[in-house]
Amino acid sequence: MHNDMMRRVTAEAFGTFWLVFGGCGSAVIAAAFPALGIGFTGVAFAFGLTVLTMAYAVGHISGGHFNPAVTLGLWSAGRCANKHVAPYVAAQVAGAIAASAVLYVVASGRAGWVAGGFASNGYGDLSPGKYGLGACFLIELLLTFFFLFIIIGTTSKGAATGFAGIPIGFALTLIHLVSIPVTNTSVNPARSTGPALFAGGPWIGQLWLFWVAPIAGAMLAGFIARWLYEPAGILDTIVVEERNAG
């Protein structure tokens, strides 16, 4: 693998690892102790902070996707080179699985701990609020659509340079505040895959929704953003090297 691509996929793997370990870890470990007062609001902020911190740590290397839906959404907007799509997605899924494995080892170090859903996503009986398939599919599609729309808009030419990580991190926080009761919040197929593999059984059986709905919403946002921004000459890439990828 070319050195530049190796740097990119490593950045994506590290970023996704941090997102899953920090976000899901706040739910699996900290939220298990009510006296800490973290609640689902704290979990929502944890997810937002993982993206915010890693966007500045490695965003200049890979673009800071950390999410297969983001990669495909940016690709559909013309802002991710074809050759980056498959390696990015593979790195993101690998990072999510590695984070889930480490989180499982840490969490199981507590006597009497039971994995349960292990911060997995679900619908119907596996939805935190017992929301049905249709509602869960719609909210995942819609929230990922707006997540990508915010990412593309805040990283386009004319937006406040260097500050994109802040609205993107807050957008992910808001998304979690809305949808944790519905699906436990995915908007990220890699984030869903890692925990589901350790929760097992029915959570793996429902994993399809948390690939299909986020990717559909993200790609729809990419196509619309291309129509909205490109004619005005303000559709730009998140990092310079994406433009030079050819």
pLDDT 10s digits, 68-103: 999 999 999 999 999 999 999 999 999 999 999 999
Residue 181 CA to its chain's centroid (Å): 17
105-138 core/surface letters (b: 16 or more CB in 10 A; e: else): eebeeeeeeeeebbbbbbbeebbbeebeeeebbe
Q: What's the domain count of the chain?
A: 1
Q: Are 216 and 141 in contact (CB under 8 A)?
A: yes
Query: Which has the higher per-residue pLDDT, 142 or 246?
Result: 142
Averaged pLDDT of the chain:
91
Give the domain CATH number at 16: 1.20.1080.10
pTM: 0.92
For residue 230, give its domain range.
3-110+118-243
What is the structure's pLDDT at 161? Answer: 65
